[in-house]
Amino acid sequence: MTMLSVENLNVWFGEGCDRVDAVIGATFAVEPGDSFGLVGESGSGKSTILRAVLGLVPDWSGKITVADKVLGKTREKSFYKTVQMVFQDPYASLHPRHSVDQVLGETLYLHGFRDIDTRVVKLLDDVGLGGKFRFRYPHQLSGGQRQRVAIARALAAEPEILLLDEPTSALDVSVQAEILNLLADLRTEHGLTYVMVSHDLSVVGHMCDRLAVMKDGEIVEVMNVDALRQSKAKHPYSQDLLRASV
Amino acid sequence: MTLLDVENLWVKFPSRHGAFDAVRGVSFTLGRERLGIVGESGSGKSMTGRAILRLIRPPGIVEADQISLEGRDLMKLSERDMREVRGQQISMVMQDPKFSLNPVMTIGDQIIEAYRLHNSTSKSKAYAKSIEMLEAVSIRGPERVMRAYPHEMSGGMGQRIMIAMMLIPNPQILIADEPTSALDVSVQRQVLSIMDKLVTDRGMGLIFISHDLNLVADFCDRVLIMYAGRIVEVCDADKLHEATHPYTRGLLNSLPRLDAPIDRLEVLKRDPAWSQTPSVSGRI
């Protein structure tokens, strides 16, 4: 069984002469419990793939399967119990006038849980925040703490796949280390599957087992992290990228 | 030779709970060199850069024994004289080109304005000079770019345009506040090498503010490491990896590395004593 597979995915925006092909013929598969990385420069379509999986782009073609179920044009409610996303900017992805308790409570309610009180406390413990952060507003939290809240919100539905869209690029290096450790711990604890987008090869190298290198909407190379570490990238673009990051 | 001498610089913001000190007694000198300032967000590195240009507005308070630019104390200048200094003698490249270029003016008009503000020349001469400057930051088709608006440019191009605009009055000092943080790794190197070339060719002093330790280690000559508004360590950039202060070590160890994989990244353990110890002087 593959947890997530994407076959010949095309995503485009606009029509006629305004048409932009953001993703062209992307194909990859992720096994359960694996961690898969997507790297490339901005505009290469890596985030768009995640958004297509989540159903956030209107026009796409190809075949996306999640846990052996083929996805249609619309997503069912149960889909969001399997797949959740953590967004790039923790400053933009939390409602400024909702407290942490409201953010998590509402999410839990919408996913049909009724023992919200105990679950909110447990979620906060899971992401290492603790109960004293429960009634704070986003402006009372630091960037790293906000990203922890965003991760807690994604975990609220008890998903199997977590899509991570540059989860640490807005954070300092010291905070980045904390968040990456947290994500690694959560993956082993909950048996999660990760698809992680980043432009930082060393972060992907640290977090993932396999990765795909993207350029101009196309996946130019899929390889193992071991091959990456030994500088065995085949495509000239991935070699360039590797040279720029070492 | 010393271009800039900063002595005992404080930046304070009054708040309901008493004054908040963003920068606490920082001293350093800048010669014709590339000086890096690194630290986490909130460590006061950007505030140091802005305070030199006196860009901090009330209620913020800047205090210093002296900020002297070739013997002139900037703290004592009038606002009018200060305007002469900004751009012409010291200029600054901000973090994100999206927010620092005027969205309703063409790029050409903005560069020409920057040039003519400090040089009284004809429009056509200023145009020629701007084209030359855009070529110097390796922008292809400068004539087209001159007619374009900022939203038509990519991030990397925008940042190169900002550098062109800041360097056209030929300042002695360039302050670059996280000039490449909004850019991709591949574009980052390109922008840095352009900046490096211009700075060395013109013999300018550069203050490079960044949170990226590896970048600073590669790019600068000397590095100041800031924590909680103070300088905790000063070292030569090529010896940054041998730094001794636990804070610098912590920052270095928290970076994931491609060539040396580890299971868990080291997390920085903050010692309250770091913010108590007085600032290390970065003066030569």
| Helix (H), strand (E) at residue B38 | strand B34-38
Judged by CB atoms closer than 8 Å, whether chains meet at A174 and B40 is answered as yes
Query: What is the SS3 assignment for A81?
Result: helix
All residues at 6 or more sequence positions from B188 whose CB lies less than 8 Å from its CB, including other chains? A244, B180, B215
| Among A41, A43, A206, beta carbon nearest to B256 | A206
Residues of B in Cβ contact (< 8 Å) with A173:
40, 211-213, 251, 254-255
Judged by CB atoms closer than 8 Å, whether chains meet at B261 and A178 is answered as no
Residue B283 lies in a domain: no
Q: What are the pLDDT digits (tens) for A10-33?
A: 999 888 877 888 899 999 999 998
Across the range B179-192, mean pLDDT stands at 77
pLDDT value, residue A149: 92
- In the predicted model, is pLDDT for residue A246 greater than 70? no
Residue B29 lies in a domain: yes
Return phi, psi of residue B26, to 5°. -95, 135
Contact A206, B256 (CB under 8 A): yes
- What are the beta bridge partners of residue A215? A218
ipTM over 0.90? The verdict is no
User: Quick one: tokens of B263?
Assistant: 């299971």
The pTM assigned to this predicted structure is 0.81
- What are the beta bridge partners of residue A212? A38, A222
Residue B16 lies in a domain: yes
Judged by CB atoms closer than 8 Å, whether chains meet at B254 and A241 is answered as no
Q: What is the CATH number of the domain that holds A202?
A: 3.40.50.300
Judged by CB atoms closer than 8 Å, whether chains meet at A202 and B255 is answered as yes
pLDDT value, residue A98: 92
Nearest-Cα residue of chain B relative to residue A40: B184
Q: Among candidates A66, A67, A34, which has minimal Cα distance to A50?
A: A66
The neighbour count for residue B185, using CB atoms within 10 Å, is: 19
All residues at 6 or more sequence positions from A190 whose CB lies less than 8 Å from its CB, including other chains? A155, A158
Average pLDDT in chain B: 86
pLDDT value, residue A92: 83
Contact A90, A170 (CB under 8 A): yes
Q: Among candidates A171, A165, A170, which has minimal Cα distance to A39?
A: A165
A201 touches chain B (CB under 8 A): yes
* Domain count for chain A: 1
Domain boundaries, position A196: 4-245
Q: What are the pLDDT digits (tens) for B234-247?
A: 988 888 888 888 88
Across the range B114-120, mean pLDDT stands at 84
Q: Among candidates A3, A40, A1, which has minimal Cα distance to A163?
A: A3
Judged by CB atoms closer than 8 Å, whether chains meet at B250 and A174 is answered as yes
Domain boundaries, position B70: 4-276
Residue B282 lies in a domain: no
Q: Which amino acid is at A92?
A: A
* Domain count for chain B: 1
Judged by CB atoms closer than 8 Å, whether chains meet at A181 and B264 is answered as yes
- What are the beta bridge partners of residue A28? A6
Q: What is the CATH number of the domain that holds B243?
A: 3.40.50.300
Query: What is the SS3 assignment for B6?
Result: strand
| Among B154, B186, B259, beta carbon nearest to A229 | B259
Quote the percentage of chain A above a pLDDT of 90: 35
Residue B97 lies in a domain: yes
| Among A43, A202, A244, beta carbon nearest to B256 | A202
Q: Which amino acid is at B263?
A: D
Q: What are the pLDDT digits (tens) for B133-172?
A: 888 887 888 888 888 888 888 777 888 888 888 888 888 8
Residue B281 lies in a domain: no
